[in-house]
Structure 1
């Protein structure tokens, strides 16, 4: 079935689509936007659907009411988990990991727009995004250790050190403490700090949406893939990837625009 971003109406989060940018808003502001089993499931499915949706060029993820996401809902997730057998627990952890897989495998750049509380699974969603903008109020905590769990959750031990370094990631994952916005910016977790987080994130999303979407998808794929190979292999992978991009109509449009001294209008083909 074809995914239509103009008619998509999710049950467990808000969805807006304009100018090639899809905005996902976690929308339980009275609880600081915690996730439930159903919202995990629906978010994962939405990112999977975006894999084949050319109309969406970029994605913004944010939270309602001045907070991003407080993690898994204590009563609707944490409580039930204490009563599950090993099979049920593994089904759950596979599902949560699949959300990160879907975010990393969808071709669109994802921009996290974060203010207030960004904790647990919320911190993971920010981490799994490609770009991150935070308000000075943002407090980010990979707080799994505070509930007796390891920091090894949803790819955190693999992805977080790549963003902020091994030592800093180890500190956050072992202690579960809050990372301030200033720390996160200095460490490279946040790309920028802003007093107008959502507006700036959507502006960035529109900028990305105006770009060459095939090339953006290749960049996203290679940023992940090249962590696992030697530099020699990476150079060969990039040679093939760039040769593929050189066959796109967008590449030819860019040349023609340059020759005519005007800005290119990319169309994603």
Structure 2
């Protein structure tokens, strides 16, 4: 390990670096092993719906990940045979119909802040999607960086089925960039379920796995990412997100600056010396 830790003022490090392996999750399962964190939505008897509490905890946890030194990649999964059925009908939808505009806006901003936190945390997020992936569950899958699915998975942006617009939690901005404008329009206007094989053809899923293997394959992919140059991977994620609103000229200049920063890292030097020595580089994320 380099002396990068020793070079940082302790007061600066204290406010910007933290260990999250020991985090005690209250509303889902959290496990960290080998730099890979696995978040498991854990209400299988209800197909893992979200509640006000789990929304808020997920938002806050993804926000903390930008400071984590022991988490290099994240896997997002659901317990049992389903990913996530969206907001709990009894614990979220029922209470929402009784709220006024200020409180409703509080809720919709909270859900949107979860997506913002997922997109701005530096760790790549791999979603392991089996069975039902609906509503906010589909949004969380969409907001992940990579998606592994199964043939039996059913992904539905079903907001219009409950009388709401498809423009929820960034769907109208992000989904067209994944599957194309026309296909996104179909999913958001109809709320129909996207099957696993169709989702792979459309590019929503990176690949399909057997149901019993999807979590393991997602974790294996996350381990590969965690073993890579994680500082540089974080820059890649940042640029993939920020360049949506740039011109080509702006993007090329931003990438020139970003790549120059990456060339200052120890990982870049390690890769060069490993190549010269005909060895595989061992990246350390600094």
Residue number among 99, 118, 139 corresponding to 1:124 in the alignment: 139
**TM-score by structure 2 length?**
0.93
Post-superposition CA distance 1:60-117 (Å, at most 9, x none): 0000011000000000000000000000000000000000000000000000000000
Report the secondary structure of 2:67's partner residue.
coil
Tell me whether 1:234 sits opposite 2:268 in the alignment: no
**TM-score by structure 1 length?**
0.99
2:57 is aligned to 42
1:83 is aligned to 98
5+ residue gaps, structure 1, are none
1:163 is aligned to 178
Post-superposition CA distance 1:201-259 (Å, at most 9, x none): 00000000000011000000000111111111111000000000000000000001111
Tell me whether 1:215 sits opposite 2:214 in the alignment: no
CA–CA distance in structure 2, aligned partners of residues 236 and 199 of structure 1: 39
1:8 is aligned to 23
Post-superposition CA distance 1:159-218 (Å, at most 9, x none): 000000000000000000000111110010000000110000000000000000110000
CA-atom RMSD in angstroms: 0.7
CA–CA distance in structure 1, aligned partners of residues 275 and 69 of structure 2: 25
Aligned residues: 269
Tell me whether 1:185 sits opposite 2:200 in the alignment: yes
CA–CA distance in structure 1, aligned partners of residues 18 and 111 of structure 2: 22
CA–CA distance in structure 2, aligned partners of residues 105 and 259 of structure 1: 35
Residue number among 243, 253, 256 corresponding to 2:273 in the alignment: 256
CA–CA distance in structure 1, aligned partners of residues 275 and 81 of structure 2: 43
Contact 2:36–2:72 (Cα < 8 Å) also in 1: yes
1:31 is aligned to 46
Tell me whether 1:135 sits opposite 2:162 in the alignment: no
1:65 is aligned to 80
Residue number among 174, 184, 203 corresponding to 2:220 in the alignment: 203
Tell me whether 1:247 sits opposite 2:264 in the alignment: yes
CA–CA distance in structure 2, aligned partners of residues 228 and 42 of structure 1: 29
Deviation at 1:6, TM superposition (A): 2.3
Counterpart mapping for 1:110-121 below 5 A:
110-121=125-136
CA–CA distance in structure 2, aligned partners of residues 149 and 5 of structure 1: 36
CA–CA distance in structure 2, aligned partners of residues 3 and 134 of structure 1: 32
CA–CA distance in structure 2, aligned partners of residues 154 and 3 of structure 1: 28
Deviation at 1:135, TM superposition (A): 1.2
1:145 is aligned to 160
